[in-house]
Chains A and B, each alone.
Chain A
Amino acid sequence: MDKIEVSLTVNGRTRAALVSPRMLLSDFIRHELALPGTHVGCEHGVCGSCNVLVDGKAVRSCLMFAVQTDGAQITTIEGFGDGDLDPIQTAFWEEHGLQCGFCTPGMLASAKELLDHNPDPSDEEIREAISGNLCRCTGYEYIINAIRSAAAKLRAADPAAA
């Protein structure tokens, strides 16, 4: 089938491209947009490594077609912070929230969606939010510590939101 034109906003920048309908959003992000921070693990919706934010919601980019994102706002890990680490990334760094780092971009997308809606999550809510993200280093406790710490940083930076 012919390629279809899509125009979308990725990390604040308008991007347009011609895509085959069968191109997964994950492949589009990595290979067409040259943003390799989005990791592809299982490619069938189980591991959560490829999670990105589409219109503010965490989604598995391996389970969407790029053609579906025409007009969407997408945030990948490259869109976190502004040339520097953002508070969630800083918390992961400080709390050793990553070992090999493969699951980290997806973890951060899930964490960001949680903290956007819940500035003071309980540990149970944090566990629920990342339950669809697998860390094969099994560093879950540190990741939970990192998200708890990130929540505190964000509350301190914006007391009105807490």
Chain B
Amino acid sequence: MKPAKFEYSRPDDLPTVLALLADQEDARILAGGQSLVPMMNFRIAQPAALIDINRVPGLDYIRMEGDVIAIGALARHADIQRSPVIQSNIPIMTEAYDWVAHSAVRNRGTLCGNLCHADPASEMPALMQLLEAQMVVASHTGQREVPAADFFTGTYETALEPDEMLTEVRIAKPAAGTGWRFEEVSMRKGDFAWAACAAMLRLEAGQIAMPRVAVAGVGDAPMRLDAVEAILTGQAPSEDLFQTAAQTGADAIDPPETPAASAAYRKDLVRTLLPRVLSTAAERAE
């Protein structure tokens, strides 16, 4: 239950971080450490080197840049959860944070670290898919943007190369009038999701426009439910429609089987949660 040995460095600027990441074999970024350190304590992870970015100034921002909200690599969950910028521009994110871990973990953990850990039952990776966030990925040779849809490639797997670091998440502000809802069921509040469902939609002349539905905890990676979105598009909100959507959603997933929550139970949860999030989102849409 103690981490294996590793080389430790604590650079004070990003170029040095990226140079070390390129130069060192098997190096990992240490931000909040709330996913990485448990894995190191279990020795599931034994990185040869840790590059601690906690003393790099200017990475903890949460700011508006035009119609985009930019969140830096060191922005911590607790600060994002309480951020007025997030609350007023991406209220579903504030709502989803009710379900993310516990206070002491949110005090240290960062959004970017959470996303790089890519736990399929974690809330924020699913939410980034829902919000169609852009991941800003940097290495010593340059920078690229990866859409959330391409970033999460599997259980604990992302599109990051070994010499790359997620430096920023960029989220376009949802259109005015968008309705939203995030709901989850887990063994205890703050635990990873047995099933989580998130929805955003707009109403145009009484019909659902641009619906987005994402789920966590019910597959190898968080995902959008394209089949559900297709059923909803252009329809008037109704309980019948949402029940049909729920069945379609349950049919579209292949949830994991665990002692605490069977695959069949997780499908039941999705069947229950989807109509709830859709009807609340429709009520909130203007």
Chain A residues in the interface with B (C-beta under 8 A) = 1, 4, 20-22, 24, 27, 43-45, 48, 51, 57-60, 62-65, 67-68, 109-110, 113-114, 128-129, 131-133
The answer to whether A22 touches B104 (Cβ under 8 A) is: no
For chain B, the bracket of interface size reads 20 to 34
Residues from chain A with Cβ under 8 Å of B7 in the complex: 1, 21
| Whole-angstrom distance between the Cβ of B75 and the nearest chain A Cβ | 15
Known contacts A59-B108, A60-B105, A132-B104; is A21 also within 8 Å of B38 by CB?
Answer: no
| Whole-angstrom distance between the Cβ of A56 and the nearest chain B Cβ | 10
The answer to whether A45 touches B38 (Cβ under 8 A) is: yes
Residues from chain A with Cβ under 8 Å of B42 in the complex: 44
| Whole-angstrom distance between the Cβ of A21 and the nearest chain B Cβ | 4
4 smallest beta-carbon distances between A and B, as pairs: A132-B102, A21-B8, A44-B38, A63-B37
| Whole-angstrom distance between the Cβ of A48 and the nearest chain B Cβ | 6
Contact for B107 among A44, A59, A128, CB less than 8 A: A59
Q: Measured between alpha carbons, how far is A109 from B5 in the docked complex, in Å?
A: 29
B158 at the A/B interface (Cβ < 8 Å)?
A: no
Residues from chain B with Cβ under 8 Å of A4 in the complex: 8
B101 at the A/B interface (Cβ < 8 Å)?
A: yes
Chain B residues in the interface with A (C-beta under 8 A) = 1-8, 10, 30, 33-34, 37-38, 41-42, 50, 52, 54, 78, 101-105, 107-108, 188-190
Residues from chain B with Cβ under 8 Å of A132 in the complex: 101-105, 190
The answer to whether A131 touches B190 (Cβ under 8 A) is: yes
Q: Measured between alpha carbons, how far is A24 from B1 in the docked complex, in Å?
A: 10
Q: Measured between alpha carbons, how far is A110 from B3 in the docked complex, in Å?
A: 25
Contact for B6 among A21, A27, A129, A133, CB less than 8 A: A21
The answer to whether B34 touches A45 (Cβ under 8 A) is: yes
The answer to whether B2 touches A44 (Cβ under 8 A) is: no
The answer to whether B34 touches A63 (Cβ under 8 A) is: yes
The answer to whether A48 touches B102 (Cβ under 8 A) is: yes
